[in-house]
Chain A
Amino acid sequence: AQSVTQLDSQVPVFEEAPVELRCNYSSSVSVYLFWYVQYPNQGLQLLLKYLSGSTLVKGINGFEAEFNKSQTSFHLRKPSVHISDTAEYFCAVSDTTGGFKTIFGAGTRLFVKA
C-alpha cells in the first residue's frame, strides 16, 4: 500500500519569491508520482508527472518537481510565483503494477501575497 504526506498544510509567500511544496511518500513497490492543482471551486488538473527517466520533471505554469528515490520525496518548486498561483496543490502516488488507485495527499494551500 502507498501513502502520501504533504508536510505543509498552508504556505504563504510573497509574489515573485521562490516556493517549495514538500511531498513524501511511502511504498513497497515502484511508483508513479503526480502533482495536481485545484483552483477555487474547480476540479483538479494535472500540473506534472513522473513516470520514469529524468528525475527532474517540468510542468505547466513554470513548476517543476524532483523525484528523489532515496528520500522518497517529490517536492514541487517554482522560482518566482505569481498571484495567479494561489490554489491548493495535491501530491499523488500510484503503483506501477497495473492498479488503478491513486492515493492523494491532504493538500497544500499556496497563498501568494502582493
Chain B
Amino acid sequence: NAGVTQTPKFQVLKTGQSMTLQCAQDMNHNSMYWYRQDPGMGLRLIYYSASEGTTDKGEVPNGYNVSRLNKREFSLRLESAAPSQTSVYFCASSGGLAGGWYEQYFGPGTRLTVT
C-alpha cells in the first residue's frame, strides 16, 4: 500500500496564480483532511471531508477550496495565491467510523512558495 500520496512535492507560484494540490489514499478511509504547517504553529486544519460527498471548513479556510472527487481523492485549490499561503501542506486520512475516532495517516507534504 502506498498510503497517502500527494503531488506535487514542491511548487513555486507567483502572486495571483492558481494551482491544485492532489491527494489520494488507498486505505479505504472515509475521512480526509488538508492541513498547513507553519513554523511554531503546529498543523492547522484548512478543510476536511468526513465522508465521500461532504466537505467542511476547518480553522483556516480562507483562500482555499476543496473537492472530494471520490472516496480516494481529495484536492485542495488555491484560486489566487498570496505570499501568506507559503507553507507546507499535508493531506491526511482516517477511518472515521461514526461515533469513533481513529488516528490520521499523513502524506509526505507539498512545499509551496508564493513569491
Chain A positions within 8 Å of B, measured between CB atoms, are 4, 9, 32, 34, 36, 41-46, 49, 51, 90, 94, 96, 98, 100-102, 104-107
Chain A residues with CB below 8 A from B94, complex form: 100
**Contact pick for B90, options A34, A44, A96, A107, CB 8 Å:** A44
Which residue from A34, A42, A51, A106 sits with its C-beta under 8 Å from B42?
A: A106
Q: Judging by beta carbons under 8 Å apart, are A42 and B108 in contact?
A: yes
* Among B33, B43, B56, B107, contact of A90 (Cβ-Cβ < 8 Å): B43
Can you identify 27 A-B contacts, CB atoms within 8 angstroms? Answer: A32-B101, A34-B103, A36-B106, A41-B108, A42-B108, A43-B92, A43-B108, A43-B109, A44-B43, A44-B92, A44-B106, A45-B106, A51-B101, A96-B101, A98-B99, A100-B48, A100-B56, A100-B94, A101-B48, A102-B104, A104-B35, A104-B42, A104-B43, A104-B44, A105-B42, A106-B41, A107-B40
Q: With A43-B92, A96-B101, A100-B96 given, can you name 15 additional A-B contacts, CB distance below 8 Å?
A: A4-B42, A41-B108, A43-B108, A43-B109, A44-B92, A45-B105, A49-B103, A90-B42, A90-B43, A100-B31, A100-B94, A101-B45, A104-B44, A106-B40, A106-B42
Answer whether residue B50 sits at the interface, using C-beta atoms and an 8 A cutoff.
yes
The docked-state distance in angstroms from the alpha carbon of A36 to that of B103 is 10
Q: Does B98 contact A (CB under 8 A)?
A: yes
| Nearest-Cβ distance from residue B62 to partner chain A, whole angstroms | 17
Number of A-B contacts (CB under 8 A): 56
Residues of B within 8 A of A41 (CB): 108-109
B58-115 interface with A by 8 A CB criterion = 58, 90, 92, 94, 96, 98-99, 101, 103-109
Nearest residue (CB) in B for A100 is B50
